[in-house]
Amino acid sequence: MSVFSTCWIGTIFFGCIFNFHGNGWHCNVYGVDFEPIGGLYKCEVREIARKLKVPESIINKPPSAGLWEGQTDEGEIGITYDVIDEIIYRIDYNLDLSDINMSDVKKVKKMMRLSQHKLNLPPVYEVSKA
């Protein structure tokens, strides 16, 4: 059996926003076997969903960990995924960020920096074989 992740590029950069192991088993580099949409921006994921005729109510549903009534990922972050997408895209392609709210840019860069450890395998204790 293989475990597939539902993380897109933004959630990978943020270590699935706030969850170390995502929803129990995905959205982390060492808890999945395959990241089929891991290299896509959220706007690209939505585009594919439309081509696959996924209902708009699902495509436009605010992402949420379901921690409490009305909780959304974007509400927790304070930035929409569309803005996060744009910032990450421009960082990826070394494009100008000056026309984007600088506090949003700083926040995204900080989240990426603070989540960097989630992109690596955990350390392994080496037992001496001597």
- CA quadruple 64, 66, 67, 70: dihedral positive or negative? positive
Q: Which two tokens stand for residue 71?
A: 């909780």
Paired strand residues for 34 = 4
Mean of pLDDT values over 18-35: 52
The CATH superfamily of 9-119 is HUPs (3.40.50.620)
Q: How confident is the model at residue 59 (pLDDT cuts 50, 70, 90)?
A: very high
User: Which one is predicted more confidently, 1 or 62?
Assistant: 62
* Rounded-to-integer distance, Cα 46 and Cα 59, Å: 6
At residue 4, the pLDDT reads: 67
Q: Within 13 Å and on the Cβ side, how many CA atoms surround 87?
A: 22
Mean of pLDDT values over 20-24: 43
Q: What's the whole-model pTM score?
A: 0.73
* Rounded-to-integer distance, Cα 95 and Cα 98, Å: 9
Give the whole-number percent of the chain exceeding pLDDT 70.
76
Mean of pLDDT values over 2-9: 71
pLDDT in tens, 75-127: 888 999 999 999 999 998 999 999 999 999 999 999 888 877 766 767 788 88
Q: Which two tokens stand for residue 8?
A: 């897109």
